[in-house]
Amino acid sequence: MTHVRINSPSAKNTLGRLGLIALVPAFALATACSGSDSGDSAGSAIEAPASAFPDKPATGSPIKIGLINPEGGPAISQPSNREAAEATVKYANANLGGIAGHPIELVTCANKEDPASARDCANQMVESGVAAVVVTTTGQGDSMAPIITQAGITYLSPSGASKSELSSPNAFMLTGGFPGTLSSMASYAKENGFKKVTVFASDNSTVVPATKAMGGPAFQAAGVELQVIPVPLGTPDTTPQVSSGLSDDVGGVAVVGDATMCTSVIKALQTLGATQDKMLIQPCLDPSTMQAVGDAMEGAHVFTTADLTSDNEEAVLYRSVMEKYSPGTEIAGYTYTGYQGMLGLVRAAQGVQGEPTAPAIAAAIKAAKNVPLPAGDGITFTCDGTVMPSLPAICGSQGVIVTVENGEVTDPQVTR
């Protein structure tokens, strides 16, 4: 078992039955976008072998690739995601021959996580003539994906939350995203014999309804009762809400919210002496949460889509690429979305035939099979629309579960 200290942060069929429901366009703001980039880099000192950095520079004609990242807004700004994507472009152009020999010319746009700026970024991508767009994480997918995909341009992201992202032609989501996380939690609850699970979710117009809509069928199929308790945004002491969600028949508790909410809920669980299994999401590994709750994180299981800290070759490559090409960037939290999305595109599009036009890039991605997910601990993705036919943009249904022991992330396990 690998222990790496944190210095910073099968329900597949059930998901298919969810259909093309309206999927939380603001979910990323409530969860993925915790907004904290503090702390030191995560992971061990092991470096990727020299073979991971072959001297294979791209020499052909440039190919424009777009990048849209939440940055500069009043509520959320994650420049480290962009920095990770920029580092990946440098890595690919110097060591992987870019995309099929063509150097990547990156066109970036800062999405302030409001509909107007999101639409502006999407239109900028179309006007710039990019062949594909990588979106790190967003709650504005419904504002961007239709503009980009209807122009025949690939829209690719590590995970999606909106209906447009998960169902549009030319949209590719490398993992199952929020639906996949809930599905994994349901499977985990079933495997551990839980009768009932309580989810504490951010109380806004999208997260609670979406958790019920997507989680309800998944947990029902697993034979586990699901209870969703809304937690008002910014609540400093969630003890009353947490207390209302605990009972003898609750075997596990889950948190769907940002780092601040996660901190408050975990503290309340500790205050109440709760012994239920804690099922958390990536923002709960934020350094601010880890430092604030201390031992209360012991034994928690975190459901994510990346392994950043182990000695797995993909995790080591992530840390090595970032150390070489963007050494000042904090690599924990959601920084990896820039890396995972950009390198995922590079890997999937390497088989492009002829000039790397937008249609050719889309065709190459659809034809690629079992592509290794960057920082994915052995997970692969296939974007031919068959993974979840009712959500054709989803390219993979697996995730990663890690356990917190003595302040360390341990034992990453790929969900099956």
Report the mean per-residue pLDDT for the chain. Answer: 87
Distance of alpha carbon 78 from alpha carbon 335, whole angstroms:
8
Residue 187's pLDDT is 93
| 164 and 94 share one domain | yes
Distance between first and last Cα of the chain: 19
- Using the predicted structure, report yes or no on whether residue 204 has a pLDDT greater than 90: no
Pick from 51-55, 113-117, 128-132, 353-357 the range whose average pLDDT is largest: 128-132
- Using the predicted structure, report yes or no on whether residue 38 has a pLDDT greater than 50: no
The average pLDDT across 153-172 equals 91
Confidence band (pLDDT; 50, 70, 90) for 42?
Answer: low
Distance of alpha carbon 320 from alpha carbon 152, whole angstroms:
34
- Using the predicted structure, report yes or no on whether residue 19 has a pLDDT greater than 60: no
The average pLDDT across 23-33 equals 39
The average pLDDT across 291-312 equals 91
- What is the domain count for the chain? 2
Confidence band (pLDDT; 50, 70, 90) for 416?
Answer: low
Distance of alpha carbon 258 from alpha carbon 262, whole angstroms:
6
Query: Is residue 274 a part of any domain in this protein?
Result: yes
- Using the predicted structure, report yes or no on whether residue 231 has a pLDDT greater than 80: yes
* Domain CATH for 186: 3.40.50.2300
Query: Is residue 21 a part of any domain in this protein?
Result: no
Residue 24's pLDDT is 34
| 285 and 340 share one domain | no
The average pLDDT across 35-51 equals 61
Query: Is residue 3 a part of any domain in this protein?
Result: no
| 383 and 273 share one domain | no
Distance of alpha carbon 297 from alpha carbon 410, whole angstroms:
13
The token pair at 217 is 């069928």
Distance of alpha carbon 364 from alpha carbon 277, whole angstroms:
43
The average pLDDT across 337-353 equals 96
| 300 and 328 share one domain | no
Query: Is residue 10 a part of any domain in this protein?
Result: no
- Using the predicted structure, report yes or no on whether residue 22 has a pLDDT greater than 70: no
Which residues pair with residue 69 across a beta bridge? 110
Residue 171's pLDDT is 97
**Helix or strand holding residue 8 (H, E):** none
| 242 and 365 share one domain | no
Query: Is residue 65 a part of any domain in this protein?
Result: yes
Residue 44's pLDDT is 57
Instruction: Give percent above pLDDT 90 in the chain.
Output: 65
Distance of alpha carbon 69 from alpha carbon 110, whole angstroms:
5
Residue 207's pLDDT is 81
CB 348 within 8 A of CB 364: yes
- Using the predicted structure, report yes or no on whether residue 34 has a pLDDT greater than 60: no
CA angle 378, 394, 91 (to 5 degrees): 50
Q: Of 40-44, 66-70, 131-135, 332-336, where does mean pLDDT reach its minimum?
A: 40-44
| 303 and 253 share one domain | yes
Residue 210's pLDDT is 82
| 124 and 233 share one domain | no
CB 21 within 8 A of CB 163: yes
pLDDT in tens, 259-282: 889 999 999 999 999 999 999 988
| 224 and 87 share one domain | no
- Using the predicted structure, report yes or no on whether residue 89 has a pLDDT greater than 80: yes
| 140 and 248 share one domain | no
The average pLDDT across 328-342 equals 91
Distance of alpha carbon 311 from alpha carbon 33, whole angstroms:
26
pLDDT in tens, 359-388: 999 999 999 999 999 999 999 999 999 998
Q: Containing domain of residue 214, as a range?
A: 179-307+405-414
| 170 and 193 share one domain | no
Instruction: Using the CB atoms, write b or e for 160-195: b if 16+ within 10 Å.
Output: bbbbbbbbbebbbbbbbbbbbbbbbbbbbbbeeebe
pLDDT in tens, 45-77: 688 999 999 999 999 999 999 999 999 988 778
Query: Is residue 6 a part of any domain in this protein?
Result: no
The token pair at 331 is 């690599």
**E strand segments, 217-297:** 225-232, 250-256, 277-281
Between 302 and 11, the more confident residue is 302
- Using the predicted structure, report yes or no on whether residue 12 has a pLDDT greater than 60: no
| 118 and 159 share one domain | yes
3-state secondary structure of 308: coil
Query: Is residue 23 a part of any domain in this protein?
Result: no
Instruction: Give percent above pLDDT 70 in the chain.
Output: 89
Distance of alpha carbon 149 from alpha carbon 145, whole angstroms:
6
Query: Is residue 107 a part of any domain in this protein?
Result: yes
| 37 and 136 share one domain | yes
Long-range contacts of 322-328 (CB under 8 A, 24+ apart): 322/41, 322/84, 322/87, 323/41, 323/47, 324/53, 324/87, 324/91, 325/86, 325/87, 325/88, 325/90, 325/91, 326/83, 326/84, 326/86, 326/87
